[in-house]
Structure 1
Amino acid sequence: MDSNPASGKPCASENPPTRAETSGSRSAPLPEDREMVEARAQYLALRKEILPESDTQQRQARARHRLYTTVLDGNLTCCKLPSRVSRVLDLGSGIGCWAVDIARQHPEASVTCVDHHPVRLHDAPSNVTFHVADLNRDWPVEPNSLDLIHIRAMSDDVVSWPFILSQALQTLRPGGQLEVSEIRPRFWDFDGQFSVTDALPEGEQMSVELSAKMGVDLDPSANLPMWLDDAGFEKAAQRSEILPVGNWSKDAKLHQRATLYKDLLELSGWEGKSRQLFVSSGWDLPRYTALVNRMKESITQGGVRVYMTAVFTTCRRPADEQ
């Protein structure tokens, strides 16, 4: 689908700088200075302090799972799976909401969960296994063995998407499918009413600049088709779905999405992934909180019909490989 799913306009530039593009290679990382390396190390350290088994994180995980499933009209994947699958990998599984559901839907399949932190679910089906591993290093999975790899909301934990995609290509069997789901950290509006001084474009642009400065890509969806092509995947496609921010939508389906997304935003303090980004870049909490509060006021009091997008990127390893 087009990167603009409706007639609205984005807050900031449609082509923010990324660390994955150079004149020599479209997927080679830019040279990194010591400041960038240190900033990203601090950012990842803050991320690892967020334990998936905490009550807040569990509620966030369940709210996120409800939202994605609702957007997909009750389905667990955007891609069409065969009636029987043998092996599934859920990368960055968190507390395992998606993995448990896909395991119950496909009891014949072996579902492997990989995350930075150990997670133990008492109600997990017997065909689900959990492994602690660093997704940014070689995966503990046999080559040519997987029917499906599922990655959801993992942009802030990925150091190099080309590396992740190369691992995915190696571990999928020929014809196996990859699905990456992300909510883009970009605000859009239906009416083109954003001004350059509005808090929403200001916050978004600052996030883009800080991400580029430390080499963290919080918006991989824009570049995933290119990276997938470089990695050797085929049939890459993207599906974008609107997530209204606020209570402006009168459409029943969009109103349901807005309610679920509001629940998720409130559980994350309206901060989502940005708090770690701003703090590790040198912002103090009062300054960051003031910006977030102004952004909230723009949404709740500004009269602007704001929305974000959930993007589902799907592809497969070529099926005719020998």
Structure 2
Amino acid sequence: MAAETSPAPASPEPQTQPAAEMPIEVDSVSFPDRDSVIDDDVSALTQSITSSILDFPVENGRRYHAFRAGVYCLPNDDLEQDRLDLSHLLMTKTIGNKLFLAPIDQAKMQRVLDIGTGTGIWSMAMGDEYPHAEACKPNDDYILGNDLSPIQPPWVPPNVKFEVDDVEDPWVYRTPFDFIFCRYMMASIKDWPALVKNAYDNLNPGGWVEFQDYDIMYYSEDGSLKPESATHQWISELIDTSNKIGRDPQPGRSLEKWVREAGFEKVEHHKFRMPIGGWPKDPGLKQIGTYNLAQLLSGLEAFSLRLYCGVLGWSKEELMVLLAKVRKELKDPKLHAQFDFHVVYGQKPE
């Protein structure tokens, strides 16, 4: 016979916000050392928030961001950070060893926003390349990079600052920017037109915006990528699943339309082919293809785990079998697969 248990104590009533029309009641309790108490309260709150942001969850052996967990489907661990830095090299080489293509008057480029900065490598490169911004006033940072994950290094150029933020939240910047840059946010954004409109609203007149992103559907110009191949099946399923959760994995093909619809002028669209592997004859494309293959092989698990296991319900073992086939095919020099990288920039009217 089960032992009798005492009834659980009643739960306290949940705390609610006072009605908007009611004044907020002042806490009249006095303290002998008021400043010390306030400092302690602020410190405790800051530590609590910092702890929650840095409490990275681990799934299937990979580490993910904690702030707005689940918004971004790729991990943020050291292996992924190395891949992101390699991707930075890949993308800059693809567009001609440049950080951006917009025809910006550097003398007017005083405030820059880097959306979804990742490891912060683009922001830091900008800080090194444009050091004149060190003369900016305090709290008026030249280059600001935001991201869901606080994985950026602590030692950065003096004109660079990073913050944890969700770019799909309302933007509350007090001072507009002269250049807003957004790169490699595929499968991360729920509402792309709203993001582009936020960029427009937070630019100075005459300011520029630049988006760089992929259309990750693989294709071949010689028919070497077969529809029945493991690689074609894998990337097709990846794209379909990402679309099902409302995160466009092919934003590159729509960037020009979104930028024009937001009201930007002097819009330019450049499309670059990115081979997978060192099969191109052209030395520049061969190098890009080699970099691309390296970052893809490193990222196969990162791209797939949350979508295949978390959304489609595959076991990790099933996924690893598929990825082993994909890895083998991607290494085959007879496979001449590629995908497209898009760069779109425009200017806010003067």
Fold similarity call, TM over 0.5: yes
Q: In the TM superposition, what are the counterparts of 1:301-320 in structure 2 within 5 Å?
A: 301=332, 303-319=334-350
Q: Compared with structure 1, are the counterparts of its residues 162 and 192 closer, same or farther at alpha carbon in structure 2 (3 Å cutoff)?
A: same
Per-residue deviation, 1:279? 2.4
1:281 and 2:311 equivalent?
yes
Match of 1:296 among 327, 342, 345: 327
Per-residue deviation, 1:286? 2.6
Deviations 1:75-102 (A, max 9, x none): 1102222132100000111121000111
Structure 1 counterpart of 2:290, which letter? T
Structure 2 counterpart of 1:299, which letter? L
Match of 2:113 among 72, 89, 93: 89
Deviations 1:117-157 (A, max 9, x none): 224524311111111111110124236x2111111111222
Per the alignment, residue 137 of structure 1 pairs with 169
- Contact preservation (8 Å) 1:133, 1:139: no
Per-residue deviation, 1:291? 2.7
Structure 2 counterpart of 1:113, which letter? G
Q: In the TM superposition, what are the counterparts of 1:193-208 in structure 2 within 5 Å?
A: 193-208=224-239
Deviations 1:169-189 (A, max 9, x none): 110111211111123211121
1:115 and 2:147 equivalent?
yes
Distance 2:251 2:73 in 1: 23
Distance 1:50 1:272 in 2: 6
Distance 2:110 2:280 in 1: 41
Distance 2:333 2:98 in 1: 34
1:226 and 2:249 equivalent?
no
Q: Compared with structure 1, are the counterparts of its residues 260 and 300 closer, same or farther at alpha carbon in structure 2 (3 Å cutoff)?
A: closer
Deviations 1:209-240 (A, max 9, x none): 22232212111112222222222222332212
Structure 1 counterpart of 2:85, which letter? R
Distance 1:139 1:174 in 2: 18
Deviations 1:12-65 (A, max 9, x none): xxxxxxxxxxxxxxxxxxxxxxxxxxxxxxxx734658664x322331222111
| TM-score (normalizing by structure 1) | 0.77
Distance 2:112 2:200 in 1: 14
Structure 1: segments with no counterpart, 5+ residues: 1-43
Structure 2 counterpart of 1:135, which letter? V
- Contact preservation (8 Å) 1:182, 1:312: yes
Q: Compared with structure 1, are the counterparts of its residues 196 and 157 closer, same or farther at alpha carbon in structure 2 (3 Å cutoff)?
A: closer
Per the alignment, residue 55 of structure 1 pairs with 78
1:80 and 2:103 equivalent?
yes
- Contact preservation (8 Å) 1:61, 1:95: yes
Distance 1:312 1:184 in 2: 11
Per the alignment, residue 66 of structure 1 pairs with 89
Q: Compared with structure 1, are the counterparts of its residues 235 and 293 closer, same or farther at alpha carbon in structure 2 (3 Å cutoff)?
A: farther
Match of 2:298 among 267, 277, 294: 267
Q: Compared with structure 1, are the counterparts of its residues 104 and 301 closer, same or farther at alpha carbon in structure 2 (3 Å cutoff)?
A: closer
Per the alignment, residue 163 of structure 1 pairs with 194
Distance 2:224 2:280 in 1: 17
- Contact preservation (8 Å) 2:269, 2:342: yes
| TM-score (normalizing by structure 2) | 0.71
Distance 2:71 2:304 in 1: 11
Per-residue deviation, 1:252? 0.8
- Contact preservation (8 Å) 1:156, 1:273: no
Per the alignment, residue 181 of structure 2 pairs with 150
Q: RMSD of the alignment, in Å? A: 2.2
Q: In the TM superposition, what are the counterparts of 1:249-268 in structure 2 within 5 Å?
A: 249-268=280-299
Structure 2 counterpart of 1:100, which letter? M
Identity of aligned residues (%): 25
Distance 1:138 1:69 in 2: 30
Per-residue deviation, 1:259? 1.9
Distance 1:72 1:49 in 2: 26
| Stretch moving more, 271-280 or 305-314 | 271-280
Structure 1 counterpart of 2:93, which letter? T
- Contact preservation (8 Å) 2:118, 2:152: no
Per-residue deviation, 1:256? 1.0
| Stretch moving more, 73-82 or 280-289 | 280-289
Q: In the TM superposition, what are the counterparts of 1:178-189 in structure 2 within 5 Å?
A: 178-189=209-220
Deviations 1:180-216 (A, max 9, x none): 1123211121213443322233223222322232212
Per the alignment, residue 4 of structure 2 pairs with none
